[in-house]
Amino acid sequence: MKVAYFPGCTLKNKAKELDDYARKSAEALGVTLEEIEEWQCCGGVFTTARDEVATKLSSVRALVAAKNKEQPLVTVCSACHNVIKQTNHAMQTDKEFADKVNRYMGEEPYSGETQVYHYLELLRDVVGFDAVKEKVVNKLAGKKIAAYYGCLLLRPNSVMKMDDPENPSIMEDFIRAIGADAIVYANRNECCGGYIAMESPDLAKKKSNAVIENAKAAGAEMIITACPLCKYNLIKNGADIPVVYFTELLAEALGVKEDTNE
């Protein structure tokens, strides 16, 4: 199976190994991630102003590229996913916004036809967690891992529609599929403070520490996340247990992690 792939800026620069883990793991599961040509930054944040068109055009171009390939669009960063999914929803539901975008682009009108998956959704809904489990060669049995969802993966629920925003399970199911024990804790979908780290580093540190300490109190030996910024922020603010991107753990479980370092 081939899918259109939007890696995002961070995974193509500061965190290239996380992109490598995603690609190698997908291949091991029978999926080829075909990177979109000449993609641009998603915009980083979805602005809610209806008259703000310019920052959303790169996301629309990515969606159109996937449509033209007749493939779903897969993202691996929760921030990129949030922006692209919300932009796609706006193209589906906001006629005024869609008209402005389509007039600016001057191409065949786009109306939100592309199916957008986060990589985790691809694993759950397309590959299937049972199929992932069958491919695991390095079982992580006994490893107590806490999933950290953060702000952007699940919200707004009316658009993202990935999981229950208050009581999610997709990352815990992923952890179980690769053979580890999933630790459920109260702060798993609270903000880590990443977006206020420059403005208020003390508050960002307080928020990150609340997540870390809560996970540890529940018995976690490791935290996994689907957001590069969350990963960076938790580590920067003093996490004393490993904070790992989910694609790295998947690559380890599937036995392809070493291949990415060649």
Q: Which of 67-71, 128-132, 138-142, 151-155 has the lowest mean pLDDT?
A: 138-142
Same domain, 146 and 38: no
Q: Which of 134, 123, 15, 141 is nearest to 74 (CA)?
A: 123
Q: Per-residue confidence at 146, pLDDT binned at 50, 70, 90?
A: very high
pLDDT greater than 70 at residue 260: no
Same domain, 147 and 243: yes
Q: Could you say which of 69, 92, 120 is where a domain stops?
A: 120
Same domain, 69 and 110: yes
Same domain, 95 and 143: no
Domain coverage including residue 172: 137-261
Would you give the end-to-end CA distance of the chain in angstroms?
25
Q: Per-residue confidence at 100, pLDDT binned at 50, 70, 90?
A: very high
- Into how many domains does the chain fold? 2
pLDDT greater than 70 at residue 197: yes
User: Which positions ≥6 away from 252 have C-beta within 8 Å?
Assistant: 138, 140
Instruction: Give the pLDDT score at 106.
Output: 87
Instruction: Give the pLDDT score at 199.
Output: 84
Count the neighbouring beta carbons within 10 Å of the beta carbon of residue 203.
Answer: 12
pLDDT greater than 60 at residue 4: yes
pLDDT greater than 80 at residue 26: yes
Within-domain flag for 114: yes
Burial of 215 (0-12, 13-18, 19+ CB in 10 A): buried
Asked if 63 contacts 108 with a C-beta cutoff of 8 angstroms, the reply is no
